[in-house]
Structure 1
Amino acid sequence: MRTVEPSGQMHENKLPGSVWALGFVSMLMDISSEMIHALLPIYMVTVLGTSVVAVGLIEGVAEATASITKVFSGALSDWLGKRKLLAVIGYGLGALTKPIFPLAPGIDWLIGARFVDRVGKGIRGAPRDALVADVTPPHLRGAAFGLRQTLDSTGAFLGPLLAIAVMWLTASHFQTVFWVAVIPAFLAIYVLIRYVREPEGSGAGKPVRLPLNIAALKALGPGYWWIVGLAVVFTLARFSEAFLILRGQSVGLAAYWAPAVLVIMALAYSLSAYPAGVASDRLGRQGVLAIGLLLLIAADGVLAFVPGLGGLALGVALWGLHMGFTQGIFSAMVADSAPAELRGTAFGMLHLLSGIALFAASVLAGALWDRWGYEATFLAGAGFATATLLGATLYRSLKRTD
């Protein structure tokens, strides 16, 4: 379907096939990853005897590693003018680490596998997001990033569902779940190679020499850096989802039902991401982002103060909704604000700085939990979310005065 602008220019309203393919790649890899990660915190704490603060440290190091890698892979994709190759390498590394989880004899092997897996995530993340922006018309970017997030989060609830089923069928045999998770990871690689098409000369049509330099970072512009600053503060509010699983354990959720926490979260995420992206195309990014931040504040309040399984389910659902209203929106805002030839670098810097913040958030969340209980962890998250909301309001008012 096409629409006609007042100028007479035709606008295509159909999302490119490569956006759909990248979405299904994300979905398959997330099915694999979430089958493992939905059980990994419980496995480390109950089977291997790891402390909660150590779980936070491991998760923080893993995600920070991914984010640091993203800045270099994003810049490299600008320099080469190629995105797909780096995406294949990154997803390939993720797939190759999956058999290590069922074979690992101890915590050291799990940390190593998690580390390499996150390196793969770092390599693929920024080039993939830049590729989505490259192949999508500007008036459909919110929808494109929303669709990718929807398919990604669909995998994020199918994975835990499969984990629950296999745990039930095998009487809570963790290793069997980890082996089943290997299959969708390698299917993701096939879909990526077979169905994703990269446009000639990604970005502006010409590779950029040495995009990681002061001049290039300045060329990203003040609007871009405002968005990154908001994303960093926001990331301090949304520590690793491992703490949602541990919150489930604190209300007496059995180990084989632990993945249900991520199922509820990802289902809410999946149902909201695409509509939120479409709404941001039509109504503006900042208003949709503000709704997402209010949802996060509500989620933290419920998880801190509402007891029982009902409170857990409501808090986790609100957490998933906040992700649907924020994750794709931040990506679309970056794509809108960054020059085309520097999109890989722009997404890489976003992921680098937010990844450092995620490391700090996960370590802080674990320390607060161990010292004062889960209430302190979620109240701190609500505080950072409120700070982000105030910053987003200021950014919106500054844009109006420009």
Structure 2
Amino acid sequence: MLPQIITRTVFLLGLVSLLTDVASEMLYPVMPLYLESIGFSVAGIGLLEGAASATAGLSKGYFGQWSDRLGRRLPFVQIGYGISALAKPLMAVFTAPWWVFVARTAERLGKGVRTGGRDAMLAGAATAETKARVFGFHRAMDTTGAALGPLLALAFLWAYPGQYRWLFIASAVPGLLAVAATLLLSEQRVAPQEGGRPGILEFARYIRAADPAYRRLFWGLIAFALINSSDLFLLLMLKQAGLSDTALIGWYVFYNLVYAVLAYPFGGLADRFGPKPVYIGGLLVFAGVYLSLSQAAEWWHFGVLFAAYGLYAAATEGVAKAWISKLVPQRDLGTAIGTVSAGESLATLVASTAAGIVWVAFGAEVLLIGTAVLSVGVAAYVSRLQA
């Protein structure tokens, strides 16, 4: 049964994501250190990351809709991965702030270009009975790359301490291998739509025009994104608990490994029992993790909670995309998934900003408990939706 689910297209897209995440996550732990080393202030880093996130968010909806209008997926996948692969090492070629700003924003633009078309290709390669497993396999491959990247970065910096610029250049290798793998993909055509190239924010109109079931799910996903701040806050919790930088990265890798192992099995549960119960279960686990983190003190507490956090991610991220793909026609998938991804990116930016303010004003415990309570409220809303 497995070969019928993991088709050539699904495997290649998973491999592309694995290699791309290796490249991205090689840089993730050292990005703030590198930016500070070339003169960025904390405020400058915040501005850079905010602009990059906004660029990725808005472009996901725009290019997803453009993919539907053309009835083509592959060019957006190839161009998007190509931009990201080239932009990462370019951040180290020159160190002028304006150049780094352009390169980092371009790297996130690449993610926006490819997301809608890629996810539409994954859905198009699945049947109604296998969608969650297909997305689960893709998330598993993607997250395996997210676990391997930091390990490679640690090995590189152990051999060449402080050589951040060369690490950025080294990240081009897996990135370019990912681009090469996209050349093995075949186009997946759908009937083109009328209207030509869309306006920048035209995709937002789809929320009102889409089926009510999609619209209600959209608002549930955005509501959760508005309380789901950056994982950097969880890593900061570990730092404040006294863990070393190596231990911190180790727990982050552990979380990604748990996520990678569980993503496909949870996709199987969603295909069998429907996406709604699996997604709600993931939200409740998320609430439990945040609530428990406010009381965690021993190292094994963090081990259990980061394993549970990997379980939450496996039960929600790929499952949500599979759920969306069940509610909209194939011709609208780029727009539908791109619009949700755009909304989630912008909502996460708001959530992370608000989380930082709450942390400073009231403390980490208030942030953790408040997030847990609100996530239970989102789970109650989702329980009323059409599966």
Q: Same fold (TM over 0.5)?
A: yes
* Structure 2 residue aligned with 1:5: none
CA distance in 2, matches of 1:29, 1:269: 17
Unmatched runs of 5 consecutive residues or more in structure 2: none
The answer to whether 1:197 aligns with 2:183 is no
Aligned mate of 1:38, from 15, 18, 29: 29
Kindly report which structure 2 residues correspond to 1:323-402, keeping only aligned pairs within 5 A, or say none: 323-395=313-385
Question: What is the deviation of 1:132?
Answer: 0.9
Structure 2 length normalisation: TM-score?
A: 0.90
**Residue of structure 1 in register with 2:6 after alignment:** 15
- Kindly state the Cα deviation for residue 259 of structure 1 after the two structures are TM-superposed: 2.8
Residue 228 in 1 paired to residue 214 in 2?
no
1:61, CA displacement in angstroms?
3.6
When structure 1 is superposed on structure 2, of 31-40 and 172-181 the one drifting more is 172-181
Cα distance, 1:308 vs. partner? Answer: 4.7
Asked if 1 retains the 8 angstrom alpha-carbon contact of 2:21 and 2:149, the reply is yes
State the match for 1:186 in structure 2: 176
Identity across matched positions, percent: 30
Question: CA–CA distance in 2 between the matches of 1:341 and 1:218?
Answer: 17
1:67 aligns with 2:53: no
**Cα distance between partner residues in 2 of 1:107 and 1:265:** 33
Match of 1:321 among 308, 311, 319: 311
- Alpha-carbon shift at residue 56 of structure 1 (Å): 5.6
CA distance in 2, matches of 1:262, 1:163: 13
TM-score by length of 1: 0.87
Q: 2:149 aligns with which of 131, 135, 159?
A: 159
Distance 1:330 1:267 in 2: 20
- Gaps (5+ residues) in structure 1? 3-11
Secondary structure, in 3 states, of the residue corresponding to 1:165?
Answer: helix
1:93 alignment partner, one of 83, 86, 97: 83
The corresponding residue for 1:137 is: 127
Q: Distance in 2 between matches of 1:91 and 1:168?
A: 29
Question: 2:114 maps to what in 1?
Answer: 124
Q: Distance in 1 between matches of 2:19 and 2:360?
A: 35
Aligned residues: 383
Whole-Å separation in 1 of the counterparts to 2:236 and 2:33: 7
C-alpha distance in structure 2 between counterparts of 1:45 and 1:365, whole Å: 23
- After the TM superposition, list the runs of 4 or more consecutive aligned residues in structure 1 that deviate by more than 6 angstroms: none
- Residues 208, 215 of structure 2: 8 Å contact kept: no
User: Using a 3 Å threshold, how does the CA distance of structure 1 residues 169 and 380 change in structure 2: closer, same or farther?
Assistant: farther
Distance 1:312 1:366 in 2: 21
| 8 Å Cα contact 1:64/1:358 also seen in 2 | no
Alpha-carbon distance in 2 for matches of 1:298, 1:45: 35
> In the alignment, which residue of structure 1 is the partner of 2:19?
28
SS of alignment partner, residue 99 of structure 1: helix
Q: Partners in 2 of 1:41 and 1:175 — Cα distance?
A: 13
Whether the aligned pair in 2 keeps the contact of 1:245 and 1:258 (CA below 8 Å) is yes
AA matched with 1:342: D
Q: How far apart are the structure 1 equivalents of 2:205 and 2:90?
A: 42
Query: Structure 1 residues 175, 228: CA separation in 2 closer, same or farther (over 3 Å shift)?
Result: same
**What amino acid maps onto 2:28 in structure 1?**
H
Cα pair distance change 1:246/1:115, threshold 3 Å: farther
- Could you say if the C-alpha distance between residues 395 and 348 of structure 1 is closer, same or farther in structure 2, counting changes exceeding 3 Å? same
| 1:55 CA displacement | 5.4
CA RMSD of aligned residues (A): 2.6
Which of residues 184, 195, 207 in structure 1 aligns to 2:193? 207
| Residue in structure 2 matched with residue 6 of structure 1 by the alignment | none
**Residue identity opposite 1:224 in structure 2:** Y
Distance in structure 2 (CA, Å) of the matches to 1:363 and 1:214: 23
Shift of the alpha carbon at 1:80? 0.7
